Amino acid sequence: MKICPCGSGREYAQCCEPYITGTQKPPTAEALMRSRYSAYVEHAVDYIINTCVRKDRDDIDIKQTRDWSEKSNWLGLKIISTEKGGPADTEGTVEFEAMYELDGLKDIHHETAKFKKDKDEWLYDDGSIVPKTIVRASPKVGRNDPCPCGSGRKYKHCCGRT
């Protein structure tokens, strides 16, 4: 039994596979989001492209999408929140994090994705990357503090010169 990559805990054949193979349509925006993540894991690039709003399909860099799918080691999907996107809705939003490793570096793709329903089919419409918050590992060095390089001089007279 193969567990679905989308993180649902369900068997792949009973979760995202029917959407990716086209035997069923995702009933919600979240189900589409999960199946698109699984499509990246399974390298089903045609599904990724075909589940985008039709007007945007010509703008997709297929080679870049395929490379990202195939060269990444996909580590997991976390759904942060959903807004609308149910079976009776015509639009929805899903905030998610897709964890992956590429060229030995782990990263998180954190996005707020917008979906639209067109003729009873959910499609990816647009997304915006959620900015990363960077936290300092150590306190900020003040101008009059000793320089961290160990020279014994004040930071402003050493490495802090501009």
96-142 confidence digits (pLDDT tens): 999 999 999 999 999 999 999 999 999 999 999 998 877 777 788 88
Which region holds residue 160: left if phi is over 0, alpha if psi is between -120 and 50, else beta? Answer: alpha
pLDDT exceeds cutoff 90 at 82 = yes
In whole angstroms, how far apart are CA 33 and each of 21, 53, 93, 111? 15, 13, 10, 11
Phi, psi (5° rounding) for residue 147?
A: -65, 135
Residue in this structure with the two tokens 């004040």, named with its chain if needed? 154
pLDDT in tens, 46-59: 999 999 998 878 88
Mapped onto helix, strand or coil, the DSSP state of residue 101 is strand
The pLDDT value recorded for residue 162 is 64
Domain architecture of the chain: domains with CATH: 12-131 (3.10.450.50), 135-162 (no CATH)
Mapped onto helix, strand or coil, the DSSP state of residue 135 is coil
For the sheet containing 121-129, what is the strand order? 73-84, 91-102, 105-118, 121-129
The pLDDT value recorded for residue 133 is 76
The pLDDT value recorded for residue 132 is 84
% of the chain surpassing 90 pLDDT? 78
Q: Are 36 and 26 in contact (CB under 8 A)?
A: no
